[in-house]
């Protein structure tokens, strides 16, 4: 069985490699269809709304490609803003001082789940 009843399954744990490709998942963000994403950094999953803090566009340059080449930072493909993977804080670029909108995530029994909140909901919620 999964986590708490309102947690939403994202993927198997092994689908998200350290500093590698992330997994996108559908959400409703502030009532509008959007995507979230989960990546693994420092051994733990971290999830965010897939929207740059500079301009509200998706970060990944190809589906699931969120890390820049060193695997140390998340990077917006459009304007090059870089984010610290475990905090979502913008470390450089046009949104310096901004941050990605976190999505609570939990890893349990080799599966990763996300936790809806008042702003980020599952797509079927209204």
Domains and CATH numbers, the chain: 8-120 (2.102.10.10)
Name the percent of the chain in helix, strand, coil, to the closest 5.
Answer: 0, 40, 55
36 compared with 79, residue with greater pLDDT:
36
Residue 45 has pLDDT above 50, yes or no: yes
Band (26; pLDDT cuts 50, 70, 90): very high
Predicted structure pTM score: 0.92
Residue 13, phi then psi, degrees to nearest 5: -55, -40
Q: What is the mean pLDDT of the chain?
A: 92
């Amino acid at each position: 069985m999964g986590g708490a009843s309102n947690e939403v399954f994202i993927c198997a744990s092994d689908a998200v490699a350290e500093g590698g490709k992330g997994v996108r998942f559908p959400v409703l963000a502030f009532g509008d269809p959007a995507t979230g994403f989960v990546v693994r950094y420092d051994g733990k999953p971290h999830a965010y709304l897939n929207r740059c803090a500079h301009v509200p566009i998706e970060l990944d340059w190809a589906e699931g490609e969120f890390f820049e080449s060193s695997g140390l930072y998340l990077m917006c493909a459009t304007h090059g803003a870089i984010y610290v993977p475990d905090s979502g804080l913008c470390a450089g670029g046009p949104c310096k001082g901004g941050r990605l909108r976190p999505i609570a995530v939990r890893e349990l029994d080799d599966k990763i789940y996300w936790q809806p909140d008042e702003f980020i909901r599952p797509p079927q919620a209204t």
